[in-house]
Amino acid sequence: MHYTKEDIKKLDRVRRLNIINSISGIKPANLIGTISKRGIENVAIFNSVVHIGSDPALVGFIMRPTGDVERNTYENIKATDSYTINHIHVSFVENAHYTSAKFDSDISEFEKCKLKPEYLDGFTAPYVGESQLKYGLQFVEEIPIKINGTILMIGEVQHLYLPDSSVAENGYIDLSTINDVGISGLNSYYSLKKFGQYPYARPNELPDFK
Amino acid sequence: MHYTKEDIKKLDRVRRLNIINSISGIKPANLIGTISKRGIENVAIFNSVVHIGSDPALVGFIMRPTGDVERNTYENIKATDSYTINHIHVSFVENAHYTSAKFDSDISEFEKCKLKPEYLDGFTAPYVGESQLKYGLQFVEEIPIKINGTILMIGEVQHLYLPDSSVAENGYIDLSTINDVGISGLNSYYSLKKFGQYPYARPNELPDFK
């Protein structure tokens, strides 16, 4: 099947949303936890978290701050400079999915979606108690993507929590040991199974390819 | 296990690279195909492709253009305004991994890694013949991320190719039907198994959570 740019433009809106939201490939499933100045907790699912750098440890995500759901997250980050990113596991994927509903801003998605807010080591923003791999970030920069009004939000990792058993000697984290999930499109969830690990690639050490 | 910002800073470099490259969660596995003005083809693996918008259909990826491997991709995109993004499947993941080796710029990774360059519908940049879901993009914008010298590259989809059978009626694409893979860290590969799909979330239609 071949779609041109014009074909994509002419697609029914929901069909286009679903197709184009799938073509980047599998997406990470994370919950972002924040708290407002008035103390109202917020947690929302994001599928656009992306690695920016490891030294300093920088993580980004794309947001559309004019959206009802994302606006609370955005405003809380701007107000407190503080947020958490929490991996979603198979055991609470349904709870996580429903944080995408447009709740009023004075309502905590933690309560509505039966997720446990957790405060660790004096960090301002709440973590998700059910998540085994999570980290607290200090907001660093927002980079506007003018062409469609989205924003790349960047933060630096201040605290990182993860199970000892998920980390191999060299620092590799096996995401399947913590039952991490992936997302395709907007609402399809995938389990992960590690099947291969290859060495650092050097031009003079190529294998005999099949 | 709890790492503070200072603990992360003090980690051995490779260990830090591996840990921090894993904390964003599962990452999509894509090959980016380009061609230089002089006609030298290039293909390289990227794990940072991210959805930017669906109307217009915009896709981004993060690159470090000072890196040896990424520089060819960057220069070719800037010279031709044209590149392709190709999903990686289980069947050629080893070939795809080794495109990350630092080959000289006059060497085609297609040839070295036994991947087939494919030209479709008059588009400038080569696709990966082995890939079932792939698209050609026109370069739109590069957004510098000053804090660490990386760049968010954004393109608009001009042509999209995918198997008819992978698309459900509403436009959902099941990535497991085409044996797509995910990446964690820099060199661990995961197969995907779809296990759940939830409806569009509305505050007044919450399920009975476990």
Dist CA B113 CA A196 (whole Å) = 17
Q: Looking at residue A154, what is its pLDDT?
A: 98
* Residues A156, B5 contacting (CB under 8 angstroms): yes
Q: Looking at residue A142, what is its pLDDT?
A: 96
Structure tokens of B7? 């603990």
pLDDT of B94 above 90 = yes
**ipTM greater than 0.90, yes or no?**
yes
Place of tokens 């001009």: B158
Q: Mind listing the pLDDT tens digit for each residue in B157-202?
A: 999 999 999 998 888 899 999 999 999 999 999 999 999 999 999 9
> Shortest CB distance from B193 goes to which of A14, A98, A193?
A193
Q: What secondary structure letter does DSSP report for A175?
A: G
C-beta atoms of A59 and B23 within 8 A: yes
C-beta atoms of B113 and A209 within 8 A: yes
Q: Mind listing the pLDDT tens digit for each residue in B95-108?
A: 999 999 999 888 99
**Using a CB-CB distance cutoff of 8 angstroms, which residues of chain B are in contact with residue A113?**
206, 209
Q: Looking at residue B102, what is its pLDDT?
A: 92
Q: Mind listing the pLDDT tens digit for each residue in B19-49?
A: 999 999 999 999 999 999 999 999 999 999 9
> Shortest CB distance from A5 goes to which of B143, B158, B171?
B158
Q: Looking at residue B91, what is its pLDDT?
A: 97
Dist CA A126 CA A139 (whole Å) = 15
Residue B58, beta-bridge partner list: B53, B156
pLDDT of B66 above 80 = no
Q: Looking at residue A105, what is its pLDDT?
A: 85
Q: For A199, which residue in chain B has the nearest alpha carbon?
A: B187
* Residues A128, A134 contacting (CB under 8 angstroms): yes
**How far is the alpha carbon of A2 from chain B, nearest alpha carbon, in Å?**
5
3-state helix, strand, coil in chain B (%, to 5): 20, 40, 40
Helices (H), chain A: 5-10, 13-20, 68-80, 93-97, 109-112
Q: Looking at residue B170, what is its pLDDT?
A: 86
Rg, chain B, Cα only:
19
Q: What does pLDDT average to over chain B?
A: 95
pLDDT of B65 above 90 = no
The CB density around residue A80, as the number of other CB atoms within 10 Å, is 16
Output the CA angle B22-A185-A86, nearest 5 degrees. 35
- The ranges of chain A with pLDDT < 70 are none
Q: For B172, which residue in chain A has the nearest alpha carbon?
A: A18
**Using a CB-CB distance cutoff of 8 angstroms, which residues of chain A are in contact with residue B21?**
51, 54
Q: Looking at residue A34, what is its pLDDT?
A: 98
Structure tokens of A178? 């913590």
At residue A177, φ and ψ (nearest 5 deg) are -70, -20
Which band of pLDDT confidence, cut at 50, 70 and 90, is reported for residue B131? very high
At residue B118, φ and ψ (nearest 5 deg) are -140, 130
Count of positions (residues) in chain B: 210
> Shortest CB distance from A20 goes to which of B9, B11, B54?
B54
Please classify residue B196 by burial: count the beta carbons closer than 10 Å to its beta carbon, then call 0-12 exposed, 13-18 middle and 19+ buried: middle
Task: Say what the pTM is.
Answer: 0.96
Q: Mind listing the pLDDT tens digit for each residue in A144-197?
A: 999 999 999 999 999 999 999 999 888 889 999 999 999 999 999 999 999 999
